[in-house]
Amino acid sequence: MANYSLNINGEAMTVSAPEDMPLLWVLRDILGLTGSKFGCGVAQCRACTVLLDGVEMVSCQLAISDVGKAKIITIEGLTAMREPEQGTTAVVHAIQETWISEDVPQCGYCQPGQILTTYALLKRNPRPSDQDIDEAMRGNICRCGTYNRIRKSVHKAAKYMQKGEEQ
Ligand code: FES
Ligand code: FES
């Protein structure tokens, strides 16, 4: 066991955990942040996706001792995030709007991972092509088959963001 200082959703937290405990376990079982889902546990579904310094990661495969000082964002923190950098809130808002209007979630289990991956994609590429979307999202498995809705929503969110830029 060791103590780890973490930055999760903008808050400093300290947890005591075995060094090989995956971040997903820390989030769900120690901190009660159950938005990140356990799907396969072997890096095959991405239901457990979180952002580490803005980059999507599978938290079931990341030992707590390897997190270091990275800023962790989970689905719980995404909507509350108010980073000073321009456009952050606009991206979150665009995703929320289009996920609702396209009725994307079905059972919802994969959606935290889908949404965080979409957020990371739109932050680095605000105008993704079909191919860009498929490449970014291909590891995110949805047993309800929401792939077409997700692709449509990502395009719609990108357009929504562009409109915001023009205002
Ligand atoms: S639970 Fe982590 S990739 Fe499936
Ligand atoms: S919405 Fe059910 S698994 Fe994706």
pLDDT value for 167: 47
Confirm whether 97 is domain-assigned: yes
Q: Nearest C-alpha to atom 4 of ligand 2 is from which residue?
A: 142
pLDDT value for 59: 98
Give the residues of the chain that fall short of pLDDT 50.
167
* CA pair distance 118, 130, nearest whole angstrom: 13
Q: Are 46 and 2 in contact (CB under 8 A)?
A: no
Per-residue pLDDT tens for 47-81? 999 999 999 999 999 999 999 999 999 999 987 76
Instruction: Return the amino acid letter for 75.
Output: I
Domain of residue 8, CATH code: 3.10.20.30
User: What are the distances in angstroms from CA 74 to CA 114, 115, 148?
Assistant: 12, 10, 24
Instruction: Looking at the structure, tell me whether residues 117 and 150 fall in a common domain.
Output: yes
Say what angle helices 130-137 and 111-124 make with each other, to 10 degrees.
130
**Ligand found nearest the CA of 61:** 1
Q: What is the 161 CA–ligand 2 centroid distance (Å)?
A: 25
Instruction: Judge if the beta carbon of residue 39 lies within 6 A of ligand 1.
Output: yes
Instruction: Looking at the structure, tell me whether residues 95 and 71 fall in a common domain.
Output: no
pLDDT value for 89: 74
Instruction: Looking at the structure, tell me whether residues 95 and 72 fall in a common domain.
Output: no
Instruction: Looking at the structure, tell me whether residues 11 and 56 fall in a common domain.
Output: yes
Instruction: Looking at the structure, tell me whether residues 151 and 121 fall in a common domain.
Output: yes
Q: What is the 104 CA–ligand 2 centroid distance (Å)?
A: 9
Nearest to 123 by CA among 156, 153, 95: 95
Q: Are 104 and 111 in contact (CB under 8 A)?
A: yes
Instruction: Looking at the structure, tell me whether residues 42 and 112 fall in a common domain.
Output: no
Domain count, the chain: 2
Instruction: Judge if the beta carbon of residue 139 lies within 6 A of ligand 1.
Output: no
Domain interval for residue 97: 88-166
Confirm whether 52 is domain-assigned: yes
Confirm whether 83 is domain-assigned: no
